[in-house]
Structure 1
């Protein structure tokens, strides 16, 4: 064989190997990713030909599929779509899926390995395949109270059962109506999606789990926990409380809300939390150091980029490599500290549960079409951020915040409520975010709540967490306790 022929044969062999390798890569290695890509219309067409399982709240389907006389076979529809949009998300022939419709897609379609024997049974009996039902942990009364409380304001509410991690309410405003995206007209579905994607407040993203905000003074709970856990502080330890705190390495100062003092100087740690004393907590942060606060934040869940409930949750952030000015501001929840409302609900849920943080979850049970339980979520410990003794001490400090501190508007008659307000500065020229985190009853916690109202809501620059966010949390707690 002469040289040109050998070269040609070598090239042809290389091309054949490349072709076979490419086909194997696409058909085997990338198969799952391509099948699950929300832009893959073939997958959606195939899914639409089977009855998709419902998403259920308290025994009622909030997302369901019914037979229709068109090429798709079934129509997805949503009851109270806007109320539950942060839970269900949408399922669209041209726009794919989001939230639970995406996170639980395999069980909703019946394709999950958990449903293998169900598929075999359907094949042998000739029964029409159906997806499984996803039963959520949401409590309707809490969800409705959260949505009503937010009203036309942009923000989010998350409520958690501290002892289990069950998510009782998950609301993001503005919400949207998933029915507009579920229509089978591709042009109408695309038009609806395009309008929502540019709408004020980005309604297609959940403020509760996907967006991060400066937590402001609600982060003082983390700093206070770090102080108690260090063993060097108790609720009675006195802290300096000047009207203004000189920040090392800069000519700037940190002041208190409204430019006033904190009632006395020095002030106990308990009273510093009660009146939300910025200067005390900024100095406390400097004294504790970056490592102590960062480690405490991490135990509460900050920095976890892999958390799912099963909705993916954007990781919250406590910054690193802080100089003294940055550390002082970070200790009071400003600068580059960023947290989701779910994260702040986890913080108070841990305090409420004697210092033990349970992993939050949104799906309680998965049932096949014949109501057989396919899987149930068992409560699972996520971490222990603080000891029971220190959790009890921090609880009493938070009760003081509600009884005669910055959160008296969160009081519930006959119930001891523990809470912490936050008014977080944002970009220059924009009103602050209003926060409130709480749990009740303080001596037997049944619900922990985090409320965020973006840019002060209806009160704008005049807003505080106690004025705007605390009444919303109170309504949610009352809804849970009344249920």
Structure 2
């Protein structure tokens, strides 16, 4: 072979190697990244050209796909959209997806490993592949009650089945209509996206499980009281100090006994029983109690309730927290739900659920069942214990004290005729010159129906006036069908 031919052969060989290498890289190595790139129009058309399974509540689809008369193939729609938006999220050709649309994308699109045999069956039978049906644990009546009660307010409500962890309601207000983001008009979707993101009320934030977490205020006194009972040194009848004011240790700051600056003592001789202190929501009593119980016991109890744990329901839940390495003053304010206490409404509903479930906290879950297009069940909710912050006997004592709050104390607005209702109000301070957030955390039981609930209304003031009536409506929707 002469020299020119050898040079030509060498050049062709190098080009062949480069072609083989580049083809292998783009088809194998970079395949996932390229498919996920939002600029890959073919991937978008492929994604939206497949049937997507419905999301169902009480037998009715709240998110579904229908054939569209454009190049995308299918259009996702939501009904009633805003009521369930914090749960479903959105499915957008421009901005991707959120909520369950994101967390369960493989299941809804039909790509999940559990749907492998269904995909094979569809191929062999010549049928178009379909995504799975996802049935939620949500109680439609409870969801509607919470949504209606929070109309015009900022805040959130969560209701749980204490025995299974099933999420019966999850509302975040204000909300938004996912249909506005599911449109196939890029111009309309971009306009809706800009409007939602420019809204100072942050409607895209799921306040029930994420966002800027809330100080729990006096609703956290349930955790402090539970820690005291678990320490073994207290009962509801134990006398504890409750002066009208309390100067925090190593500080000139003075804690008033009641929200709004009240300086009345909790009882004669500046003391009361633990139960009376909870019913009256005495700040000084629980500030002193928390210091007596100690940071270790308080933290251990809080963690058993779920504080600090990363949860997937399967939506991702921001962990609730209390401060670290607390001095005496910080421990005092932590014990009444202030300082660095930050919680989600879901977490506080979990606190209430433990009282109603003999001391056990169950893993919160949003999905009741997943099934194929031919109604074969792939998976069903399996209750799982997450923690046990209280013994059954101490949980019964907590219920006794919480019932006193609703029958005799600050939570009377949560009463339901014919039902056992227990709870705790909260008025959470969060900034100088700002109206406090309003809380109610509690449970209700009638016959064999139970529900635990947490409601927060931003800048709603006293929990007894604002959050408690909302909680009553939600609980009533569950236990009185």
Structure 1 distance, partners of 2:352, 2:173, is 22
1:475 and 2:473 correspond: yes
> Match of 1:425?
429
Distance 1:129 1:234, change over 3 A: same
Q: 2:263 aligns with which of 260, 265, 278?
A: 260
> Match of 2:350?
346
The answer (yes or no) to whether the contact 2:162–2:361 under 8 Å persists in 1 is yes
Structure 2 distance, partners of 1:285, 1:42, is 60
Structure 1 distance, partners of 2:337, 2:40, is 42
> Match of 1:10?
none
Q: 2:392 aligns with which of 388, 392, 414?
A: 388
> Match of 1:325?
329
The answer (yes or no) to whether the contact 1:353–1:445 under 8 Å persists in 2 is no
Structure 1 distance, partners of 2:383, 2:414, is 29
**Cα deviation digits, residues 330-363 of structure 1 (max 9, x gap):** 1111011000000000010011100011101001
Structure 2 distance, partners of 1:210, 1:468, is 22
The answer (yes or no) to whether the contact 1:418–1:440 under 8 Å persists in 2 is yes
> Match of 1:63?
63
Q: 1:449 aligns with which of 444, 449, 453?
A: 453
> Match of 1:117?
117
Q: CA deviation at 1:254?
A: 1.1
Q: CA deviation at 1:97?
A: 0.5
- Equivalent position SS for 2:316: coil
Distance 1:322 1:103, change over 3 A: same
Structure 2 distance, partners of 1:444, 1:348, is 17
The answer (yes or no) to whether the contact 1:330–1:337 under 8 Å persists in 2 is yes
Q: CA deviation at 1:151?
A: 1.5
- Equivalent position SS for 1:455: coil
**Cα deviation digits, residues 315-334 of structure 1 (max 9, x gap):** 11111111111111011110
> Match of 1:410?
414
- Equivalent position SS for 2:101: helix
Q: CA deviation at 1:402?
A: 0.2
Q: CA deviation at 1:226?
A: 0.6
Structure 1 distance, partners of 2:354, 2:82, is 30
For the aligned residue pairs, the C-alpha RMSD in angstroms reads 2.2
> Match of 1:81?
81
Structure 2 distance, partners of 1:33, 1:322, is 46
Structure 2 distance, partners of 1:22, 1:152, is 56
- Equivalent position SS for 2:107: helix
Structure 2 distance, partners of 1:33, 1:466, is 52
Structure 1, 176-185 or 441-450: larger mean CA deviation: 441-450
The answer (yes or no) to whether the contact 1:399–1:442 under 8 Å persists in 2 is no
- Equivalent position SS for 1:47: helix
- Which protein shows a greater Rg? 2
Q: CA deviation at 1:46?
A: 1.5
Structure 1 distance, partners of 2:36, 2:354, is 35
Structure 2 distance, partners of 1:360, 1:69, is 40
1:370 and 2:383 correspond: no
Q: CA deviation at 1:165?
A: 0.5
Structure 1 distance, partners of 2:40, 2:285, is 55
Distance 1:298 1:36, change over 3 A: farther
> Match of 1:193?
193
Equivalences, count: 460
**Cα deviation digits, residues 436-469 of structure 1 (max 9, x gap):** 011112886610010000011xxxxxx2001000
- What TM-score results when the alignment is normalised by the length of structure 1? 0.91
The answer (yes or no) to whether the contact 1:92–1:182 under 8 Å persists in 2 is yes
> Match of 1:48?
48
Structure 2 gaps of 5+ residues are 1-13
> Match of 1:464?
462
The answer (yes or no) to whether the contact 1:162–1:445 under 8 Å persists in 2 is no
Distance 1:135 1:249, change over 3 A: same
> Match of 1:356?
360
Q: CA deviation at 1:263?
A: 3.4
Structure 2 distance, partners of 1:385, 1:100, is 30
Distance 1:181 1:414, change over 3 A: same
Distance 1:442 1:62, change over 3 A: closer
Structure 2 distance, partners of 1:38, 1:104, is 19
> Match of 2:233?
232
Structure 1 distance, partners of 2:33, 2:339, is 38
Structure 1 distance, partners of 2:95, 2:156, is 24
Distance 1:336 1:24, change over 3 A: farther
